[in-house]
Structure 1
């Protein structure tokens, strides 16, 4: 009888085999991906919570104080061009008085002799004409003291002070 020397492959002939799975994968899960997904879900939940709080606060303000809220929004919506041009203007001259401001609080540039300036009634603050005109197109108040300028809304001025204080 012929002897057959056929060797059956042994596990060691194919190279080293690991008997334990990789450290970062257990049961087929990559732990880093799982941690990243949890952190992403946490950030999204916090963002959603913040957004919902803002929506609920605004909605409750509109529902509980609709007239006052709408009136206060209309108070500082800007002057009409006709009202803005009616405000007094002058030319700046350097005064020796140290109490008068020397810079425009809107553009933060110093006033020079001959600069056209506009005075605001009731508070007597003054600014460069171009600066204050741009401001007054979108605001009805003095940029320094926030005094309301629109003469048509004097009856709403007391309502405004009640809301903001």
Structure 2
């Protein structure tokens, strides 16, 4: 593609980045809708189901690319306010269905209740994105499999 169609269609590189992020988020949120909001499935199984579904999407590429949301979050916020705002919205959009599944697990007594669901969702997503970064460097799916298998541990109810 020559530069002409690109510059005629998008007002800026930042506008292009936001459009790409919008499409990427559409995929992530579709996966979240099918897995995390599936009320016929137990809450912890929903969370694990999300990671498995993402693994099916990203695994064939051997995790070479990681997560676009996290990748761009590491590189672009200091260069573009427009992209930074979209990244923040993307993280919030993704956090919401995780928090809903966790809150459902808390209501059922399957997930610890001493931390708010939205705080636990941040912990889960931070661990996931760290695992994806490690998998990107290793160029394999080992780290996401490990984190997906161990994520229930910090979510389990505390024993008093």
- Please indicate, yes or no, whether the TM-score normalized by the shorter chain is above 0.5: no
Which TM bucket (shorter chain)?
Answer: under 0.3
The answer to which structure, 1 or 2, has the higher relative contact order (CA under 8 A, 6+ apart) is: 2
TM-score (norm 2): 0.24
In our comparison, the structure showing a higher alpha carbon Rg is 1
TM-score (norm 1): 0.24
